[in-house]
Homo-oligomer: A and B are copies of this chain.
Amino acid sequence: MALKNKSMYAILGILNLAPSTGYDIKKYSDKVLSGFWNENFGHIYPTLKMMLEDGMINILPGEINEKKVRYAITEKGRMEYEAWLLEETVQQPARSEFMLKLLFSSSLPREKVIFMLEDYKELHEKNVGKYLEMQKDLEQGNAIARDRVPFINAVLRRGILSGEAVIRWCDETIEEMRRA
């Protein structure tokens, strides 16, 4: 078998919920996974092609629109996917340009640093707001399998708690910058 990139698993996970087109996968990724995952077309389409060749997925026949290609996970794909779920996850190194900059900002005027932090805080406030919205939507229970709810909620809670921690850190650091 060819390469096993992480995008493949994201795609298998999405197709395991429902057969989808490449476009659907992108939409799901942008809407639901954004915050901790991202995909782009330049990656999705070639990966789908490769997965099709490997027999992980197949094409569902006969849509209204001939241009539309809807893929479904195969038995082989599901096995690969479930093996991945059970694998140990090695954590990959993060890259935060913001933190890199901040570490090196001792020569900047303090006002500039404070401005950077306020901006960053605002961004995270917006994120937390989005997660809270999504949590409300989830409570209304829109056509989502009941057994998946605790998992979606866990992901949203993570976004909220982490975001709030960053906001508190921003406040604290802004204070510190004003004093120092």
- Point out residues on A near B: beta carbons under 8 Å: 6, 9-10, 13, 16, 32-38, 82, 84-86, 88-89, 91-108, 112, 116, 119, 123, 145, 147-148, 150-155, 157-158, 161-162, 164-166, 168-169, 172-173, 176-177, 180
Q: Which of B6, B32, B99 is the one whose CB lies under 8 Å from A37?
A: B99
Chain B residues within an 8 Å CB radius of A34: 93
Known: A36-B95, A85-B101, A161-B166. 11 other contacts (CB 8 A): A34-B93, A37-B95, A85-B104, A91-B97, A91-B98, A94-B94, A150-B177, A154-B169, A154-B173, A158-B166, A165-B165
Identical copies of this chain, number: 2
Q: Is the interface of A mostly helix, strand, loop or mixed?
A: helix
Indicate if the CB atoms of B164 and A176 lie closer than 8 Å.
Answer: no
Indicate if the CB atoms of B150 and A161 lie closer than 8 Å.
Answer: no
Chain B residues within an 8 Å CB radius of A147: 106
Q: List 6 A-B residue pairs with CB atoms under 8 Å apart, sorted by A's residue number.
A: A36-B96, A36-B100, A103-B155, A106-B147, A161-B168, A162-B169
Chain B residues within an 8 Å CB radius of A100: 6, 9-10, 13, 33, 36-37
Closest residue of B by beta carbon distance from A9: B100
Chain B residues within an 8 Å CB radius of A99: 36-37, 155, 158
User: Roughly how many angstroms separate A151 CA and B92 CA in the complex, as a whole number?
Assistant: 25
Chain B residues within an 8 Å CB radius of A88: 119
Indicate if the CB atoms of A89 and B85 lie closer than 8 Å.
Answer: no
User: Roughly how many angstroms separate A171 CA and B123 CA in the complex, as a whole number?
Assistant: 26
Q: Which of B84, B107, B151, B166 is the one whose CB lies under 8 Å from A162?
A: B166
Indicate if the CB atoms of A38 and B150 lie closer than 8 Å.
Answer: no
Query: Known contacts A37-B100, A95-B37: does B154 contact A161 (CB below 8 Å)?
Result: no
